[in-house]
Amino acid sequence: MSFFRQDVRNANASSVGERGSLKRASKAPGGANLKRSGQRHNAGLRELPILDELQNGSNISQRALADRLRMAVGAVNRYLRDMIRAGYIEVANRSVRPFAYRLTRAGDRYRRRLSHDHYHWLLGNLRVVERRITAALGELQRHGVRRVVFYGAGDVMEATHRLATALGLKVVGVVDDDVAKRGLTRAGLVVQEPATINRLAPDAVVITTFRHARAIRGKMDRALRSSMIVGEL
């Protein structure tokens, strides 16, 4: 069932200024920094899964890598070429087609360095994300929100649940469009279908995903109560 179209739906007859304030909260400080940091991090992050696959099993073909990693063959080809030039990967036997690839010693050192850098990048950005989520939840509280439903049952939701609980918000439910997730228990709550939102009677629905937030926001919101706030992290 479709739900979302706007950030705020007549939040208890709040003023236009208040709605603008809530929308700004969804872009809490740290979002721009997170995006810039992510762009710098992306190149190595795309190479790391390829390096990990080659470390786990040598002499893997380009097609097998693309299938395992669910990447386009052209993209895998480009990364392989770059890493061959850098000396991180080599062709196992050039007389045999299709080529099979393996990690060099330099490539294994590069893989370990990327893994280390990725861990520290995640740790640093976790703090940025937590500040961003806390700021958005705090703004909802200032608009009188006490009961929330989370839309999105992934890792972001679990982090948001912990922060919301620490702030004193009551999480009354979690919903997700993914049928495979329904019935699972996440953060102590059973994941339900979005059609249950009105029955859960929250003050606000919080979109607890970054990747699919735009798609959720673009959905029709006819099934929502007109006094319900819809917030984005």
Tell me the residue type at 53.
E
Q: φ and ψ at 130, to 5 degrees?
A: -65, -40
pLDDT digits (tens, 9 = 90+) for 140-187: 999 899 999 999 998 889 889 999 999 999 999 999 988 889 999 988
- Per the document, the length of the chain is 233
Highest average pLDDT, of 42-56, 84-98, 164-178, comes from 164-178
Q: Rounded to an integer, what distance in angstroms lies between the CA atom of residue 122 and that of residue 163?
A: 18
Average pLDDT over residues 48-73: 85
pTM summary value: 0.51
- Report pLDDT for 119: 66
Give CA separation, 227 vs 25, 57, 121, in Å.
Answer: 19, 56, 40
**Where do the domains of the chain lie, and which CATH numbers do they carry?**
11-31+128-232 (3.40.50.720), 35-123 (1.10.10.10)
229 and 205 in contact (C-beta within 8 Å)? yes
Confidence of residue 16 (pLDDT cuts 50, 70, 90): very low
